[in-house]
Amino acid sequence: MKLQLVPPAEAFRASFLRALREFQHEGLPWWIGGDLELAEQDFAAFVAKKLADANRSTTTAVPKTHRWAIAEDQFVGRIAIHHALNDALRIEGGHIGYDTVPSVRGRGVATEMLRQALPVARALGLREVLLTCDDTNTASVRVIEKNGGSLRETRALAANRPPKRYYWISLLDES
């Protein structure tokens, strides 16, 4: 699938809101509540907030650059790059996180999102990036490994959860 990574923009309101309903139906916790209620109520404000995340630093949040994947003018996925790690992200989250809209999974979207996000991370000054994923998340493992991820560690975080994999991708060859 041919796709472009772009900053969040109001132009993608309709397909983003359709995707939001798919994500909510799936039930991933990070697609429920919070800012997403704002997306339904005031999409312009939601987009502005996403863009402002790049300059927002709090005791719990580090600056974060969001990119949306667009194919044939439709929102098909999202990827976000943390500009630095904090203690929480070192355990879970890492520098980069992504989701593909459920109805377009298995068509190379996440692989391409991560490929295109790596030069963005490099431009932010990062020399290597941490990606964390569940040991059982076969699709994400493939996405990371196809993008040059090197498995540095697998750690059990809790008895009732799958072990977490810690991958690093070197950006020294990125332009």
Ligand X SMILES: CC(C)(COP(=O)(O)OP(=O)(O)OC[C@H]1O[C@@H](n2cnc3c(N)ncnc32)[C@H](O)[C@@H]1OP(=O)(O)O)[C@@H](O)C(=O)NCCC(=O)NCCS
Whether the Cβ atoms of residue 3 and residue 76 lie closer than 8 Å to each other: yes
Residue range at the interface with ligand X (CB under 6 A); choices 12-20, 39-47, 97-105, 156-164: 97-105
Quick one: which of 5, 67, 79, 140 contacts ligand X (CB under 6 A)? 140
Cα–Cα dist 30/99, whole Å: 10
List of residues 6+ apart from 57 with CB closer than 8 A: 63
Q: For residue 21, which of 115, 103, 127 has the smallest C-alpha distance?
A: 103
Q: Which of 99, 152, 140, 147 is nearest to 122 (CA)?
A: 147
Residue of 15, 65, 100, 147 interacting with ligand X (CB under 6 A): 100
| CB 42 to ligand X: min, Å | 26
Tell me the per-residue interface mask from 17 to 46 with ligand X, x by CB under 6 A, - otherwise.
-----------x------------------
Q: Which of 47, 89, 109, 117 binds ligand X (CB under 6 A)?
A: 109
